[in-house]
Structure 1
Amino acid sequence: MRMMVAGLAMMPADAQDIEPDGPDIVVTAGKPLRVDAKLLRAAQRRFAEDRPAHAPRATLRFELWRGYSRISATDVGLALTDGAGGQLPVTIDGDGRVVFATLPAGRWFLTAPAQSQGMHLRPIVLSSGTSVEDRRLGDLRAQCRVMVAMAKADASLLAMPLIGMFDAIGGCASKRFGFYHPVEHPLASATATGAGVMRTLRLSVTSTSYEAPLSDRNLPNDARVRLAYR
């Protein structure tokens, strides 16, 4: 059985012929992007809680994706809007990722015009001096927790027992699930190295995601996860 939680594909750890690539916070086809700010607040709270232990030099950003392609948020026309017609601009960094400082109180939504159809939003945690191809494992561990917090904020009543079971068996630190992180280009390999330990990481069937060793206690938070593309 596959569990999809906010951009993570979570499988039983012994699953074979895995195809984990799937949706994040998905916008229904044909509709423009509209993400409730309560998800963004949940992400910020969780990141602030986990940052000291897992990612002390990292920042939390958000990316726009359509399928396997990341889309720069620079020209999408993102804005925070409310039901009364209010609108606030959104800050975009030099890499086309969305940056939120203090989100306004009340019911707000991250929106974009019609060209945002089929887009989805992903949080990304990155330390200074790192990249998606060369990441700290601690950043990935923090990112997993942020994603789960967003999923909880958006979960239906029917989904809550499943998420509760996930929490009960260890959450992002559980060895009973494989945690897959999607990438934009097909992978040739993915490795994790740290404290004299090296792991070759498992790839999905399409080589568009890799299993991050979040539960591996032999790999510290400063271990590096490095990707090589085809």
Structure 2
Amino acid sequence: MRLVMAGMALSVAAPATAQDVQPDGPDIVVTAGKPLKLDAKVLRAGQRRFAEDRAMLSPEGSLRFELWRGGRRIPAGMVPIVLSDGKGHDLPVTIDGDGRMVFASLPEGRWFLTAPAQSQGMHLRPIVLSRGTTTEDRRLGDIRAQCHVMISMGKAQATLLEWPLIGLFEAVGACESKRFHMFHQAEHPIASAKAMTPHGERELRLSEKGTSYVPPMSDRTLGNDVRVRIAYR
């Protein structure tokens, strides 16, 4: 079965002791040849959840949104993206120096994040990064906050058929569940992924193709300041 959420597509297998979620390829998918039109309520849901978690999980973090095509991130400035109310009113989208979208505030009412049709499908995913960190050297608290944002965005656009699966996921602990292994996709093939714990380095599991890794979100003995570091091939 497939549990679809914002920021990751949860392909759930069912081994005896755990479930693998591979990979966290995002659910907000722009099908090839079709324009992007994402209700701003989905972005607001992510912002609200991040605001709730920020003090505990990511006090110096910021929430951004990325565009991906397959396994490659696309700088948002390469695609003409706007906020539109569908009535002829458009607002530009702020893009930071790393090509990620920034939404300090979103207009009230029915607005949509839009982009023209693309020859290849695209994905939209949230990312939480603290000051002084990178995608190769992340705080565990930021990864936990990002997962919560993904869940909230998914719930904001879930269909009736998807709600039972989301309910099951939340019932067993969601992002902090030991029954799910969530693979976080990297921008390049990974040589190694490690959690820098107080007791030494811990090797993290990689996907078969080495394009994603499993952060130890469910390990409650690890604080939010633990670093997760990856090295590319």
Q: Give the TM-score band, short-chain normalised.
A: over 0.9
Secondary structure of the structure 1 residue equivalent to 2:73: strand
Runs of 4+ in 1 over 6 A off after TM superposition: none
Please point out which of 160, 181, 202 is paired with 1:199.
202
Tell me which amino acid in the other structure corresponds to 1:92.
I
Please point out which of 80, 84, 93 is paired with 2:96.
93
Does residue 140 of structure 1 match 2:143?
Answer: yes
Tell me which amino acid in the other structure corresponds to 1:7.
G
Equivalent residues in 2 for 1:130-169 (5 A)?
Answer: 130-169=133-172
Unaligned runs of 5+ in 1: none
Tell me which amino acid in the other structure corresponds to 2:113.
L
After superposition, the Cα gap between the structure-2 partners of 1:116 and 1:135, relative to the gap in structure 1 and judged at 3 Å, is farther
Give the TM-score taking structure 1 as reference length: 0.93
After superposition, the Cα gap between the structure-2 partners of 1:16 and 1:217, relative to the gap in structure 1 and judged at 3 Å, is closer
Give the TM-score taking structure 2 as reference length: 0.92
Secondary structure of the structure 2 residue equivalent to 1:94: coil
Does residue 54 of structure 1 match 2:53?
Answer: no
Tell me which amino acid in the other structure corresponds to 2:205.
R
| Count of aligned residue pairs for this structure pair | 230
Equivalent residues in 2 for 1:208-223 (5 A)?
Answer: 208-223=211-226
Q: In the alignment, which residue of structure 2 is the partner of 1:3?
A: 3
CA RMSD of aligned residues (A): 2.0
Secondary structure of the structure 1 residue equivalent to 2:156: helix
1:39-95 alpha-carbon deviations (Å, 9 max, x no partner): 100000000000100000000000000000100011311100012111001100000
Q: Indicate if the aligned counterparts of 2:22 and 2:183 stay in contact, CA closer than 8 A.
A: no
After superposition, the Cα gap between the structure-2 partners of 1:188 and 1:4, relative to the gap in structure 1 and judged at 3 Å, is farther
Q: Indicate if the aligned counterparts of 2:18 and 2:178 stay in contact, CA closer than 8 A.
A: no
Secondary structure of the structure 2 residue equivalent to 1:219: coil
Equivalents in 1 of 2:149, 2:114: separation in Å? 21
Equivalents in 2 of 1:17, 1:45: separation in Å? 28
